[in-house]
Structures are given as structure tokens and as C-alpha cells.
Amino acid sequence: MSLTETSAFEIAAEVRAGRLRAVDVLDAHLANVAARESEIHAFNTVTADEARRSAEAVDAAVAAGRDPGPLAGVPIALKDNMCTRGVPTTCSSKILDGWKPPYDATVVELVANAGAVVVGKTNLDEFAMGSSTENSAFGPTFNPHDVTRVAGGSSGGSAAAVAARFASISLGSDTGGSIRQPAALCGVVGVKPTYGTVSRRGLVAFASSLDQIGPFSHDVRDSALLLEVISGHDPLDSTSIPQPSLQLLSELDRGVKGLRIGRITDLPGGSEPEVDERLSEAFDALAAAGATIVDVELPSMKFGLTAYYLVAPAEASSNLARYDGVRYGMRVEASDTNAMYMATRAAGFGDEVKRRIMLGTYALSAGYYDAYYGKALKVRRLISDDFARAYEKADVLVTPTSPIVAFPVGSKVDDPLSMYLCDVFTIPTNLAGHPAMSVPFGTGAHGLPVGVQVLAPTLGEAVMFRVAAELERGAR
């Protein structure tokens, strides 16, 4: 097995024991970057020199008898909306092109302190708004399984970096499915934790009540390892839950015997036949492993998409008001201040970002707030209530992650509504604040990966990972 095919868990164990050098692991992954990055475009910035210094420091620590940490020598990629001190953080937007933050995001500090080696910043839909990574100001990311197709989004670069073995693990952010959907399309594991379990300090905001950072990996164990490292209370994040880091690795071998797995009987339609077939096989595998399949209803789930596209743009219109050409980022000179604001934003933001800012501003405007934003918040409450009733009957729920496999590049860019429907199964979890994860489970049309999604109640990561590990075993 090559170094790029070795799991993060095994890399860290071998490096910590002194049987493997972090520099050699890095070189193997950078060789893959050199070979395929030009056709995939997973990265906005490759930090090879910084990565080599980090790897050498890990090897020096081991040689001196010190433990570099649970991610010792593991190459990791970071979505380019997470602040990295002195390294460009662009959110794939022209308006932040070249901006270098003066500090590291909390998750960046945590992975560095755990011994991980950052290989670069990954491409994304501009300000995380999109489902295909085609909205990036720096060009799309392509699917490593078929470069004529999208990698998903908005964290398409992070998913592709792992799928192409440019990095062993990566971090993305998930506002409406932006970790889970690209994970499904690229055939990797992707996790959205409970809102508040992972610090958002240093994550450039899209929709603050929905955004959450989470891991990508090749297998469930590596995601459990990374989530253990990045979770836990952060006093610098006012939305951080005051609890210790999650303990997940000990749950993976417990199996699912006795667990109740919820099958949603009123799930929105429109999935490809092969996706439905993989979902049915997933339920069969869980039942064969000792779980009980129970039918549940989520009647408000079909309204999730509508509510999300009022709540998220409303928050985005507020969060993105800070990009004005004054404080940081690009500036387009004009005759007066107001003209400069308009010219900077017109040149700096892409079409999808402008579309969502205008939609959100309209929803919050006088005379329309109660009719649109207020009603969306009521629907959000109904969705949470429906989930609560479902979790009285089931320990977890299982759905498709995406209704379709990776679609051809360019096929949906002129049809935003069709693009939005890609997130129909992932968005409700964000509205409720619950954890969910995507696990590769076979292939669908054109031999492309299909992901099955495991959903759990608030702070239900332990049981969610138990089920995900069983699905992984059932998919082999």
C-alpha cells in the first residue's frame, strides 16, 4: 500500500512510533498534487514550503522523544474560507483576492497542534454559496472520478483533494449540505457535526446560524479521529457548546444491534433510480447487522429548501455587508464613497453571491420581513419539531445524501433552482442544527459514487458514527 493510500489513523500511528517520516508522507501527497492538480483544480493555494517545514518539525519532535499529537504527519487540506495567518484566504471571491488574515482560525490551530501538515487551501463556491464549486472566481473544481463532472459544493475542493489523494484528510464547512453533498459526489466520507460542537472562530461567515465546520476523509475512522481533534468548547466563539471534545473512535466497533434506524416514508422524490437502490441496500445491510428498521414521517421536510433560501440569504446579506472596499480586500476607486461601495461590490462579487444578497435583503426589508423571513423561521421550528418526533421512534435516520450522482460541468449553471434541489436531503439538518454525515455506498449512474446519509439528534454523533461504520462495512 502506498503512503497516499494509508489511512490518516495509520499514518499518525507510524509517524508517532518513528517508523515513518512525516516528510516522506508529505512528498508522496505532493507528488499526486503535481501529477493531477492541473486537471482537477482542488486548490486555490498549495503551501508546499510551509508544509515541508511543518513535516520537518514533526519528525524533529519524534526524534527528540516528544509526541507531536494524534494527527502527527497527516497531510490536511483546508477550505479557503478558514483564516490562516499569513496565507491568502479568499473564499474564492475576487473581493478577497490576496487577503492574508492576521490570525489562524481555531480549527487551524487545533489541527496544527495535533501535528497535522497543511498542504493548501481548497477551492469552493464563492463564499460557500453553491452546490458544484462552479461559482468560484478562480474556476471550477473537477471530480477526480470523472473530470467532465463537478465535484459538488460548496466544499468541492476539500472533497476532491481527499478523493484525488492530494491530502489524507481535509476540512470543509457545511451550511446546507456543503460537506455532505460533495463527499457523496466524490466518494468520500463527510461529516457535519452538531451546530456548536466545532468552533466557528475564524470561519468566514455565510449564514451564521447554519455554518458548521467538519471533516472529509477516506474512511469513517479517520473522520472520527479528526472530529475528536477539532471539537470541544471554544470560549472565543459565543455559539460554542460548553462541553469537552467528542469521543468517537471507541464507538466504531460497537455495531448496530438493537438500534432503531428510521426510514422516512414521505421523503421528497426525484432521486435517480440507482440512488434509491443503494438506499434500499443500505437498509438491508443495517437490518442484517441487527438493527431494526422503523418507518417515520417528516412532513415539513419538503419545505426545508424554501425556508433555507430565505434564512440563509438573509443572514448572508448582513454578513457580506462588511465587504465595502474600506476595511480589507479589493477596492474600486470612484468619485465618492457610495459610488466606491457600489463599484467594489459589483466588481468583487459573482452572480450567485449577488443573487443571494439581493434575495436576503428583500426578505428582510420593511413590509416583507413578516411575509417571508418571519414565515421561514416558523417553518424552521416546524422542521425541528418533526425531527424531534421522528427521534422518539428512531435512534438515527438514513436517507440519500444527494438525489443524483455528479452531474456534467456546466449543465446546471444557468438553472439555479435545479442546482438548489441537489441539497434537498441535506438542508433540513442544518435548519435543525443536528449532526449528519455521508458515507460512500456503492455506485450509481455512469459508475459514479453514491453517498448514504446518516442523521442523528443534537449531540448524537456517537450513535451516528456507529451506524456509519456499519454502513462502511456493509458497502465492502
Residue from 129, 152, 132, 133 nearest 206 by CA: 129
What is the Cβ-side half-sphere exposure of residue 99, based on CA atoms within 13 angstroms? 24
Rounded to whole angstroms, what are the CA distances from 357 to 169, 347, 380, 427? Answer: 32, 14, 20, 19
Residue from 119, 127, 95 nearest 312 by CA: 127
DSSP codes of every residue in 364-381: HSTTTIIIIIIHHHHHHH
Pairing between β-strand 169-174 and β-strand 75-79 as defined by DSSP bridges: parallel
The answer to whether residues 394 and 387 touch, using CB atoms and an 8 Å cutoff, is no
Label residue 115 left, alpha or beta by phi (over 0 means left) and psi (-120 to 50 means alpha). Answer: left
Rounded to whole angstroms, what are the CA distances from 118 to 21, 22, 54, 115, 239? Answer: 16, 12, 8, 10, 26
The answer to whether residues 105 and 202 touch, using CB atoms and an 8 Å cutoff, is yes
What is the Cβ-side half-sphere exposure of residue 35, based on CA atoms within 13 angstroms? 11
Pairing between β-strand 142-143 and β-strand 169-174 as defined by DSSP bridges: unpaired
Residues assigned a catalytic role: 79, 154, 178
* Dist CA 473 CA 65 (whole Å): 37
